[in-house]
Structure 1
Amino acid sequence: MKNALITASTKGMGRAIAIAFAKEGINLAICSRHSEDLVAFKDELSAINPNIKIFTAVVDVSVKQQLQDFARAAEQHLGFISIIVNNAGIYEHSSILDDADDTLDKHVNTNLMPAYELYRYFGKTMIAAREGHIFTICSVASLNPIAEAGTYSVTKFALLGLNKVMRTEMQQYGVKVTAIIPGSTLTDSWKGMEVDKDKMVLPEDISSAIVNIYKMSAGANVDEIVIKPAFGQI
């Protein structure tokens, strides 16, 4: 059995990805800041596939020590982690000129640092095994900045840049690295807003893409995939 680690795993895209991997028989290391969410979701995943192992941990991934402890514990409980899904992220609707003093730190520590640190933790193990797949959930803001979300855009640009560096470093070892670049996706980021879900990307669209990319032949890698709403961005 393969083992996957997913950050921010109980809602939105992370939740959909965990469910899709469970259906594929992949063991899971999942985390959230809320223990009650983890307990309920673990029960749900166990019902979907009673044969997989599920390791859960209450983690604030923006705190480096908590993230590193999660990575270490996941490895101890499940063994070699061959799939990483960098899903954690925050979005704040604000121009850089109107940012609070801690806005940049919050965005860097949530949108960029976890992917960087998990790569540093697991990368050499993947190289030694000559096996692994890293998925990084970026954003269309990684390609075209959103003026109303300036700091978010900056960190998502950096995240896509990190993904390119990871892919370049890992390519010769057969370790795959894929950037998932979604447009307007129906997650909690839209909570409180009136939106038409039929004109948005759904979390299940993202999880379906990830599973299909993961199942490709050993010689194939999807470097980047952009998934936008059929009717255009919201």
Structure 2
Amino acid sequence: MKNALITGATKGMGRSIAMAFAKEGISVAVCSRNAKDLDDFKKELLQINPQIKVFTQVADGSVKEQLLQFAAAAELELGFISIVVNNLGMFDPSSILDESDSAFEKQMNTNLMPTYHLYRYFGKTMMAAREGHIFTICSVVAINPIAEAGTYSVTKFALLGLSRVMRLEMMPYNVKVTAVIPGSTLTNSWEGTTIDKDKFVLPDDIASAIINTYKMSAGANVDEIIIKPVGGQI
């Protein structure tokens, strides 16, 4: 049985991705800062597929020590982790000159560093096994930055750059790396919006793209997936 580790998985895109992997018979490891959310989600995943294993651990993925403890515990519980989905992220709508003194460090630690740390943790194991697939959830602001979310744009630009470097490093070892680049997606960031959901990309769309990419033939790697609302950004 294959095993997937997904960060930020109890809500939004991560939730849909975890559910999609469960439907495919893939065991999952998920972390969150909220124990009740994890317990509820574990039950839901096992209802979807009682044959899989679900490992949960309370952890703040933006804190290196907690993130790596989660990674090690997931590996111990499930075995070889062949799929990593770097989904953890935060959105702070502010220009760089107007944001708080802690905004840059906080967003770097949430949007970029977890992917870097998990790559260094799992990368050599995947290389040795000559197997694995790393998915990184970026954003269209990595391609077209916006001044209204300056530091967020910077972190996602760096994340896309990291994904491209990971792809180059993993290429000789048969390990796949895919950057997923969504436009306006209906997650908790849009909570309370009155905009029609059909104007958005939906979390299930992201999950579907990841599953279809994962199921491609052994020789195919999708480097980058850009998914935008049909009517343009919101």
What TM-score do you get using the length of structure 1 for normalisation?
0.99
> Which residue does 1:108 correspond to in 2?
108
Q: 1:193: how far off? A: 2.9
Q: Output the CA distance in 2 between the equivalents of 1:228 and 1:100.
A: 30
Q: Which moved more, 1:184-193 or 1:43-52?
A: 184-193
Distance in 2, matches of 1:158 and 1:81, equals 25
List per-residue Cα deviations over 1:16-45 (Å, max 9, x = no partner).
000000000000000111000000000000
C-alpha displacement of 1:65: 0.1
The one-letter code sitting in structure 1 at the alignment partner of 2:10 is: T
Equivalent in the alignment of 2:202: 202
Counterparts of 2:56 and 2:208, CA distance in 1: 23
Match of 2:145 in 1: 145
Q: Secondary structure at the match of 2:112?
A: helix
1:99 deviates by 0.8
Cα distance, 1:192 vs. partner? 2.9
**Once the 2 structures are TM-superposed, how far is the Cα of residue 210 of structure 1 from its aligned partner?**
0.2
Residues of 2 paired with 1:94 and 1:26: CA distance?
Answer: 38
Q: 1:42-57, aligned counterparts within 5 Å?
A: 42-57=42-57
Indicate the RMSD between aligned Cα atoms, in angstroms: 0.5
Measured in 2, the distance between the counterparts of 1:55 and 1:220 equals: 29
* Residue segments in structure 1 that go unaligned for 5+ positions in a row: none
**What does residue 96 of structure 2 align with?**
96
**Separation in 2, partners of 1:137, 1:177:** 11
- Which segments of 5 or more consecutive residues in structure 2 lack a partner in the other structure? none
Which residue of structure 1 aligns with residue 10 of structure 2? 10
1:1-234 aligned within 5 A? 1-234=1-234
SS of residue paired to 1:225: strand
Give 1:191 shift: 1.5
Deviation of 1:77 after TM superposition, in Å, equals 0.2
| Identical-pair percentage | 72
Distance (Å, rounded) in 2 between the aligned partners of 1:155 and 1:70: 23
Number of corresponding residues = 234
**Separation (CA, whole Å) in 2 of partners of 1:192 and 1:24:** 32
CA distance in 2 between counterparts of 1:23 and 1:93 reads: 35
Runs of 4+ that moved beyond 4 A: none
Q: Tell me by how many angstroms 1:194 deviates.
A: 2.5
Structure-2-length-normalised TM-score:
0.99
Q: Secondary structure at the match of 2:125?
A: helix
**Equivalents in 1 of 2:175, 2:58: separation in Å?**
29
**Structure 1: distance between partners of 2:123 and 2:209:** 23
AA in 1 matched with 2:28: L
